[in-house]
Amino acid sequence: MTDHRADRPHGSGRPRRSGGPGQGRGQDRDARSGRAPRGGRPPSDPARQAAYEAVAAVHRDDAYANLVLSEILRDMGLHGRDAAFATELTYGTLRAVGTLDLIIAAAAGRDVSRIDPPARDALRLGAYQLLHTRVPAHAAVNQTVDLVRSVAPGASGFANAVMREIASKDLDTWLEQVAPAYDDDPVAHLAVVHHHPQWIVRAFLEALGGDLEDTVRLLIEDNQPPAVHLCARPGRIDPVDLADESGGVPAAFSPYAVYLDGGAPGDLASIRQGRAHVQDEGSQLVAAALLAAPVEGSDTRWLDLCAGPGGKTGLIGSIAALRGAEVTAVEVAEHRARLVDQATTGLPVTVLPTDGRTVGRDPDLPEEGFDRVLVDAPCTGLGSLRRRPEARWRRQPADLPPLTRLQRELLVAALRAVRPGGVVAYVTCSPHMVETQVTVTEGARRSGVEVDFVDARPLLPPGMPGLGDGPTVQLWPHRHGTDAMFLAVLRRTS
Ligand SMILES: C[S@@+](CC[C@H](N)C(=O)[O-])C[C@H]1O[C@@H](n2cnc3c(N)ncnc32)[C@H](O)[C@@H]1O
């Protein structure tokens, strides 16, 4: 997994504040617990209540949807169909929120910034039900009005009028009304129709060589819930046995991956006992590619410069155990360094909780001290939007300059840490050209060491389609079913 933003401990995503103006503390507590307000009727059914709490926490508290929703479902004791419905509503609403807001604004006759947050989030969930689910319109309207009555009591009449207006047209009619025409501005049109901010559509289009049709395929794929991928740790479990145990199927490309339809992978004995872990297939492929690059001479000192929370270190460490190598895993955030420690129990991995840019200054990170180095750099995460429904609206173009500076500095550190003849894999879970090609070219130029680009395509499993002209590789959700991982492999020549 490439986890770029979950820098806070689990559990901190829980709603913290009361719901909004005009809302008493008792009502707030009742609404959050899913219980009926004293003396009143239930605010809405538990699944919708759970989805409302999750969406509100994401917008109000900057919570992460996956963390906060699982906590809410557990607190409310929701399972099975209720939990699945709450999840669909939460994730679907968060993915589509930019477009839902345009429709709500058109229906309300005012910008959504002028609607109180609790009513706004309830309307977002209501609009999603009307336009994207099979929920009958009358149920979506009534349940939303009930929800608004419990979280923003003064706004229920307004919500009723807005919901009825939205229900008066279907999705295509609304999109025609709120999206710019494709012929006038294709990027702006696709952004609204496929629920992505324009700057992200533009970045995808550029990375896909200006191919609008391919970009549409990617945008559509980004809105699908992804399958869960497992990694069968080499030497610990065979993927066929893992597939039998989990009810999954061996993957198309990674020799270690198993696809699951869903379920709770954390309950599998193989995961609990460290024989397997959850990891996107693309992450497995790029980590394995580093180890497939030929190096001459010593090949026992491997470095993972950005290791937390430890997905790739787990795979690399398992292979190191089979090949007699040792892995140094660097992670600057202390709690994430602890996660790397937990993820690599029993493997030949030493975790260093330090800044990867201290190569040459930290005695454990000597210059020219390693045969292979992985830089899985912190990035915008635009390649894993399927897995993080709120991320596309939270990320901003202003995030790019500090991130690309850090990426460049980490790549320079990696090129100094590798010995001449050794290899560095630079990886991001973002296809943004500024984080991929530009960073690699600039980092290599500024490092002061001589490098050659290694063609990364033969380092991936034979027969993988859609790998482009090399030497770098960009994986894609719509082509490979993986996150959009970027991989550049550089050999130090002097
Ligand atoms: C993309 S994530 C790595 C994911 C990881 N390789 C995996 O597969 O689980 C990037 C990581 O780099 C860490 N990081 C950020 N700046 C760093 C630095 N200067 N030195 C070392 N690690 C850093 C972040 O805390 C984050 O955990």
Q: What is the pLDDT of residues 378-428, one digit of tens each?
A: 999 999 999 999 999 999 999 999 999 999 999 999 999 999 999 999 999
Predicted ipTM of the assembly: 0.99
For residue 330, the ligand 1 atom closest to its alpha carbon is 21
Query: What does DSSP say about strands 276-278 and 257-260: parallel, antiparallel, or unpaired?
Result: unpaired
* CA 34 to centroid of ligand 1, rounded, Å: 38
pLDDT at 282: 98
Identify the band that residue 261 occupies on the pLDDT scale cut at 50, 70 and 90. Answer: confident
- Residue 13 labelled as part of a binding site: no
What is the spatial distance between Cα 207 and Cα 2, in angstroms, rounded to a whole number?
20
Q: How confident is the model at residue 128 (pLDDT cuts 50, 70, 90)?
A: very high
Ligand 1 atom with the smallest distance to the CA of 381 is 1
Q: Does 331 belong to an annotated binding site? A: yes
Q: What are phi and psi of 37, to 5 degrees?
A: -60, 145
Q: Which residue's CA is the closest to the ligand 1 atom numbered 11?
A: 306
Q: Give the integer Cα–Cα distance in Å for 385 and 401.
A: 20
Is 355 annotated to bind a ligand? Reply is yes
Ligand 1 atom index nearest CA of 343 = 9
pLDDT at position 16 over 70: no
Q: Whose CA is nearest to atom 25 of ligand 1?
A: 333
Average pLDDT over residues 21-26: 28
- Tell me the mean pLDDT in the region 450-466: 97
Distance from the alpha carbon of residue 78 to the mean position of ligand 1, in angstroms: 34
CA dihedral for 430, 351, 278, 395, sign (positive or negative): negative
- Helices assigned H by DSSP within 247-280: 269-272
**30, 336 in Cβ contact below 8 A?**
no
Q: What is the mean pLDDT of residues 78-86?
A: 95
Rounded to the nearest angstrom, the distance between the alpha carbon of 231 and the centre of ligand 1 is: 20
Q: Quickly count: other Cβ atoms within 10 Å of residue 37's Cβ.
A: 18
**Ligand 1 pocket, Cβ-based, cut-off 6 angstroms:** 1-2, 4, 283, 306-312, 330-333, 336, 355-357, 376, 378, 406
Nearest atom within ligand 1 for CA of residue 378: 10
Looking at residue 263, its pLDDT comes to 74
Q: Is 169 annotated as a binding residue?
A: no
353 has binding-site annotation: no
Residue 231: beta bridge partners?
Answer: 257, 277
Torsion of CA 54, 56, 62, 65, to 10 degrees: 20
Nearest Cα neighbor of 286 from 300, 298, 304 is 304
CA–centroid distance, residue 376 to ligand 1 (Å): 7
**For 165-205, what is each residue's pLDDT tens digit?**
999 999 999 999 999 999 999 999 999 999 999 999 999 99
Give yes or no for residue 18 having a pLDDT over 50: no
Q: How far is the CA of 378 from the centre of ligand 1 (A)?
A: 5
Looking from the CA of 119 toward its CB, the CA atoms found within 13 Å total 25
* In contact, 257 and 284? CB cutoff 8 Å: yes
Over range 300-306, report the average pLDDT: 98
Residue 169: per-residue pLDDT = 98
What Rg value do the Cα atoms of the chain yield, rounded? 24
Average pLDDT over residues 294-322: 98
Nearest CA to ligand 1 atom 10: 378
Known catalytic residue at 429: yes
Catalogue the E-assigned strands of 200-342: 228-232, 249-250, 257-260, 276-278, 301-304, 326-330
User: Which of 331, 336, 365, 435 most suits a substitution to test ligand 1, by most atoms within 8 Å of the C-beta?
Assistant: 331
Q: How far apart are CA 309 and CA 3, in angstroms?
A: 7
State what percent of residues in the chain have pLDDT above 70.
91
Single-letter amino acid, residue 79: H
Strand residues in 41-149 grouped as ranges (E): none
154 alpha carbon – ligand 1 mean position (Å): 46
Residues 6+ apart with CB under 8 A from 207: 431, 432, 433, 436, 474
Atom 16 of ligand 1, residue of closest alpha carbon = 332
For residue 158, is pLDDT > 90? yes
**Identified catalytic residue from 349, 429, 459, 460:** 429
Cα–Cα distance for residue pair 95/223, rounded to 1 Å: 7
List beta partners, residue 330.
Answer: 352
- pLDDT at position 262: 75
pLDDT in tens, 313-334: 999 999 999 999 999 999 999 9
Q: What are the pLDDT digits (tens) for 37-67?
A: 433 445 569 999 999 999 999 999 999 999 9
pLDDT in tens, 328-373: 999 999 999 999 999 999 999 999 999 999 999 999 999 999 999 9
- Closest residue CA from atom 12 of ligand 1: 306
Kindly give the number of the ligand 1 atom that is closest to the alpha carbon of 333: 25
What's the 232 CA to ligand 1 centre distance in angstroms?
22
The span from the CA of 59 to the CA of 55, in Å, is 6
Helices (H), 327-380: 334-343
Choose which residue among 4, 256, 305, 306 to substitute to test ligand 1 binding: the one with the highest number of ligand atoms within 8 A of its C-beta: 306
